[in-house]
Amino acid sequence: MTVLPFDERDGTLWYDGAFVPWREAKLHVLSHGLHYGGGVFEGERVYGGAVFKLTEHNERLHTSARELGFAIPFPVSELDDATRELVRRQNITDGYVRPVAWRGSEQMSVSGAGARVHVAIATWEWPRVFSGPARDEGISLGTSRWRRPAPDTAPVRAKAASLYNICTLAREEAEAAGHDDALLLDHRGLLAEATGANLFLVIDGALHTPVADTFLNGITRQTVIGLARDLDITVHERALTPDALADADEVFLTGTAYEVQPVRAVDGHPYGVGKVTRSLAEAYARLVRHPDGRG
């Protein structure tokens, strides 16, 4: 299947405070963010023309930037308004939003101090990551040789572009081995996450999820934990060794792009899509379509 490259598409983006033609949204090749990883981003979903938890995502964009030592030059409220208007202009019903902030090209050195911070927002139609049998019956994970770094070695609380090098390497190796995604351990050898989604195990009807101390505490992760408690499902946030996978009856992932995604196998060990996974997937689907509680 031929996919149209993102730089050859038409439409509108928001770039440094103005709406500009899609093809004209460019940056210089000597931008600090490109060379030294001085960039942060968010992933947001549009459901029925509305962005789910928009403000929370833009607040986290600001938090991620502070973790990397720079400030977003636009307040959260302005990013919220720009996103809503962009979604309207692009006529997005069910899609994805990508805000990104990076240090510019004022200087070329390891230190990014003094470089201008740029911000852009793009949105496009994108109903879901997985479809067909993978969506309903689950995806396959393979444990990666790459690991999440320790908190004192990387800005693990930030959604930083530089940290996704690990995810890219792990995902490509997993796909080459016939899996849909990779499962990453942390620097201690504990279960961490997938390349772009948080991990949950269902053991004896209760949810078990790794403590988010070496990876991003996802907004979808927090949402699903809240939904589980609303459904009287016990939730344990704890250190999990890989041996815990053998005790699990169900495994699933959560993320803005993944939503609640069942896992059918980890390293060949099979799992069913059980009652807990289905109930949380259904509750999440209702919430994103009716965030005010209706429906």
**How far apart are the C-alpha atoms of 121 and 15, rounded to whole Å?**
7
Single out the catalytic residue among 26, 53, 159, 275. Answer: 159
Three-state secondary-structure class, residue 95: strand
Bridge-partner residues for 266, per DSSP?
141, 269
Structure tokens belonging to residue 18: 């103005």
Active site residue 159: yes
**How far apart are the C-alpha atoms of 84 and 46, rounded to whole Å?**
10
Structure tokens belonging to residue 59: 């607040």
What is the Cα 222 distance to its own chain's centre? 13
Phi and psi dihedrals of 277, rounded to 5? -60, -45
Minimal CA–CA distance to 65: which of 146, 153, 152, 162?
162
DSSP alpha helix (H) spans, the chain: 32-36, 54-67, 76-90, 133-137, 164-176, 219-230, 244-247, 275-289
**How far apart are the C-alpha atoms of 261 and 188, rounded to whole Å?**
26
So which residues are the catalytic ones? 159
